[in-house]
Structure formats: C-alpha cells, structure tokens
Structure 1
C-alpha cells in the first residue's frame, strides 16, 4: 500500500480538520492535534503500519510534516498543562480518564512535600 497523504484544513483558533486528497474525511471536528487523530482514523480504516505524510491545504510545500509509523502516532496526543506546557503523551480513549491519577495542581506544586511533613520552603521554622 502506498504512503498515505493527509490534507490538513485550517479551522478557527489554531484548530484543524483532516481528509485524504480524494476528499474522504478523517477528522471532521476541529481539533488542535489533527496529525495524531488522523493516524487513529487511518488505523481504523485498515491502513497498514508505515509512514504517512501531511500537508496543509493551500500550502506551497509538497509535505509539511510526516510520521514514521501510523500505528505509533495513533497512540499519542498533545497535552497542554499550566505547569508543564505542551507535551506529547499517550492517548487515552474517552471514558477511561477516570483510571488515571489526577495531575499535580499547578497552584500548589509543593503539595507532596507538605503531605510528607516537610516544612514549607518559604516558611521559617523555629
């Protein structure tokens, strides 16, 4: 099977949709990480594991991005947190988030130290 090419379409506010060049929709709801979502759809459509190429609609570049493995990219997504910024993380299906541990609070980054009984780093100890 040849290397699939995915066309990314710009929506509003940094969100994108994706389709195949023949118009077959892959990502219909505008999202911020269309490359990983498009890879999940390609896996669901039965594409074999291998590279995939991505280009923005209207772009002069032949290819703007690529992945080496559709199946590996399908297992990832982008997460944005206040204290860590953007990062690539393992993708979890909707409904399975409850099984994950809650993230650290960005407002109390030292809460683990406080639970262990250590003094607060800015508090004077007598």
Structure 2
C-alpha cells in the first residue's frame, strides 16, 4: 500500500512539473513574441551575395538548433518511457516468479503423488533409473 502511495506522489509531481514547464514555455513564447513585435529588425545595407548567404546560413543555424532541441526533448521523453515500461515488465516478471514459487511450495507441502511400479520400470529401461 505504501508503494502505491509513493507512485501516486511521483505521478502528481510529474504532472505538476509538466504543467509548470508548459506555463514557462508559454510565458517565454509570449515575451519573445512581444519583444519582436515592438523591436523590429531593420537592415539598411545592400542585398548582395554575401549578405544573402549570411542570412540563409543564420536561418539554417536557427532551424538546426530548434530541431536539435526537439530531438533532445523527444529522446529524454523516450528514455523515461522505456525506463517506466522496463520497470513494469520487471515487476510483472518478478510477480510471476513469486506466484510460481508459491505454487511449487504449495505442491510440495501437499506431498508427492505415489509412484506406480510401471513408471519405475519405464525409467529404468530408458536409462534414467539406477541399477
């Protein structure tokens, strides 16, 4: 029961952390949008070859940084999901092993069924018996 309470607290903590990060992202986006709407960039120079190349490379760098950031976030999310799934599988496997062990202990406490002489003869003819 205590384990369920801890898992519930973890789930609540994750949920609130996600909400706080989402609110921070929305706030940051709003601040950046307001900043760029009132402080427009102005270029007074000529649009020659090197200027266009510089602008294109700058835009490509910004796009690559954004893609890298998204890939990093997805990788962290994927790792957390895989870890959680691995924990669930390990928990289920351990529970199955415990159930099987309990079943075997229960069968041993009942006792073994009596052996027939026919089974012993068959074991000896197959080479499994001692004799």
TM-score (norm 2): 0.24
Query: For the pair shown, which has the larger CA radius of gyration, 1 or 2?
Result: 2
Compare the two structures and name the one with the higher strand fraction: 1
TM value normalised by structure 1: 0.25
Which structure is higher in helix share?
2
